[in-house]
Amino acid sequence: MSDQFIWGIEVFFNGLMAGVLYALVALGFVLIYKASGIFNYAQGVMALFAAATLVGIMNGQIPFAHLINTIFGTHVYEFGWNLNALVAILLTGGVMVLFAWVVQRVIFRHLVGQEPIILFMATIGLAYFLEGFSDLMWNAEIKKLDVGLPQGINLAIDEFTFNIFDYGFFIDNLDIVATIIAALLVIALTLFSQYSKQGRAMRAVADDHQAALSVGVSLNFVWIMVWSVAGFVALVAGIMWGTKSGVQFSLSLIALKALPVLMLGGFTSIPGAIVGGLIIGVGEKLFEFAIGPMVGGATENWFAYVLALIFLVFRPQGLFGEKIIERV
Amino acid sequence: MNAAAQEYITEDGRKIGGVVMEMKNITLRFGGVIAIKDISFDIREGEIRAIIGPNGAGKSSMLNVISGFYNPQEGEVWYKGARRPQMRPYQVAAQGIARTFQNIALFEGMSVLDNVMTGRLTHMTTNLFQQGIWYGKARQEEIANREKVEEIIDFLEIQAIRKTPVGRLPYGLKKRVELARALAAEPSILLLDEPMAGMNVEEKEDMSRFILDVNDEFGTTIALIEHDMGVVMDLSDRVVVMDYGKKIGDGTPDEVRSNQDVIDAYLGVAHD
């Protein structure tokens, strides 16, 4: 076997792992879009906010420390504790639920029945507000996030592949953990929406508001629930990306990576988000590996979008999206 | 003893219970348009109450007031002996008022079974946390409700399409599934908005039979809107007639049929 081919396999696997992370972000989009028809541009910033909150709670940072110090002339920055990661994650989950409640209460409750474009604009506003709010609350420094996830090369795979190909694959433990967690998350979400009472209410709202009201479903409750779940998904994505590359502004840009994933998979399909993420992840890594050197590299920046554009031409509803039929 | 609690014997000798819902001087406006003008009537337990009238008479608006989709500017809604405050539709549903829609509002992407199961939502009390654990209370609840749903599916003879996504069903069956979903809530009052609209004769006969059976078997109080006079007169115990937002008649089918105002509204009057 040629070296090129073996390296290709390694790239393929690394692409799969990257794809899982894209899928995780895309999943947050799909959840909200399905249940409320809102394309939530703020999903990426939500991941940033969640990750920053998690770091803040773990390290005992005082929220709004800068603001407090400016107003009262004090010099307080930290509570001086270090919290267990699991407890901090649960607390951050609570913060995301609170966030969902506020967003629903303050913004989207007043925009029910508005045009999609208006809802979209509202989420853009939300995104920039949340970004500033996150900086104000937890300061804008680049923070290290370590919740105890394993990192670094997986030696077992390295050794195993070395014995077969005479070349050890480099696969990061963090990516493997991320894949497992993402898979569990998707399974849990699917089971929840298929079999639980609230899941059924969620699907009902996604399908027909009026009918949902008539069977006793509170739209408000469902929307808060969906935003909470999306917030939780953002938290998981934030943990993964934050562990990988630090909690910083660029984290919010992963939302832009999720766009082509959504175009590919369809805006309304959970499996679509997964498959779309994997295709984009693998596609861009393989493309960079095979074609990249010929065109001077850096193809990862645009490949996903070109792929998505091609998809838009042939299948505008995405791989798994609902078919758009307009009857006249 | 007030009149509301008294029982009532219909023309064909059926015994009807006391008043379960009373509309008092309801007026509903949309800007300058008056959809309902000072209408009062009551619904008694166990009866089939029809609201009829020509197109645009305000029948659907009235149903929307009862189910909480519209809030009237004036008037009071009394339900089970208490004045109902302004409520949102989902709160009204939780109080035991189920409805169907004129243009069918089903969850098209979900199976028939799932659609009917949503009708049980108001009967399921486990919270998010219990549902998350699933084993134990949530599971028992699901099984109990599922049994009830299967019973209703059997009753309405839609067993064969249980797993079919609703979007694929023909119109007549969709109407029946919607009835099943409303019925699954075991409502105190079942509101049917033109249950027979757009159906052929055979489907209409089927639907009429189901409505009568539901009333017979479960003793469900039914309020329905129809503008096909023939069907209504056969089905209902008492009829309210509306025209241009006003009530022009109220009584048994025979009384209504011989009411001059009603005849005029339906057949038109010569203006000379």
Pairwise CB contact (< 8 Å): B117 & A213: no
Report yes or no: B119 at the A interface, CB cutoff 8 Å. yes
- What is the pTM (predicted TM-score) of this model? 0.85
- Count, in order, helices (H) and strands (E) of chain A: 14, 0
Pairwise CB contact (< 8 Å): A208 & B88: no
**Which region among A27-36, A319-328, B127-136 has the lowest average model confidence (pLDDT)?**
A319-328
Q: What is the DSSP letter of A172?
A: B
Pairwise CA distance, residues A269 & A31, whole Å? 9
Name every residue in A having a CB less than 8 A away from some CB of B: 192, 195-201, 203-204, 206-208, 210-219, 225, 322
How many domains does chain A contain in total?
1
pLDDT at A147 over 90: no
Beta bridge partners, B98, equal B190
Q: Could you tell me the pLDDT band of residue A80, with boundaries at 50, 70 and 90? A: confident
Pairwise CA distance, residues A177 & A157, whole Å? 14
> What is the per-residue pLDDT across A10-20, written as a single tens digit (0 to 9) for each?
899 889 888 88
> What is the per-residue pLDDT across A285-302, written as a single tens digit (0 to 9) for each?
999 998 888 888 788 888
Contact yes or no for A21/A174 (Cβ under 8 A): no
Q: Which residue of B has its CA nearest to A34?
A: B109
Pairwise CA distance, residues B227 & B241, whole Å? 10
Contact yes or no for A318/A271 (Cβ under 8 A): no
Find the domain containing A72 and state its range.
Answer: 3-314
Query: What ipTM, to 2 d.p.?
Result: 0.87
Pairwise CA distance, residues A132 & B159, whole Å? 56
Grouping H, G, I as helix, E, B as strand and the rest as coil, residue B169 is coil
**Residue A239, number of CB atoms within 10 A of its CB:** 25
| Dihedral (CA of B110, B116, B121, B122) sign | positive
> What is the per-residue pLDDT across A93-108, written as a single tens digit (0 to 9) for each?
999 999 999 999 999 9
| Chain A hits for B60, Cβ within 8 Å | none
Instruction: Render B99-152 in DSSP notation, one character per residue.
Output: E--TT----TTSBHHHHHHHTTGGG----HHHHHH-TTHHHHHHHHHHHHHHHH
Q: Which residues contact A190 (CB under 8 A, 6 or more apart)?
A: A270
Would you say residue A323 lies in a domain? no
Q: What is the pLDDT of residue B12?
A: 67
Would you say residue A322 lies in a domain? no
Domain B1-96+189-198+222-267 has CATH 3.40.50.300: yes
Would you say residue A261 lies in a domain? yes
Report yes or no: B87 at the A interface, CB cutoff 8 Å. no
> What is the per-residue pLDDT across B179-194, written as a single tens digit (0 to 9) for each?
999 999 999 999 999 9
Residue of A224 and B228 predicted with greater confidence: A224
- The overall average pLDDT reported for chain B is 89
Short-list A253, A235, A240, CA closest to A175 = A240
pLDDT at A321 over 50: yes
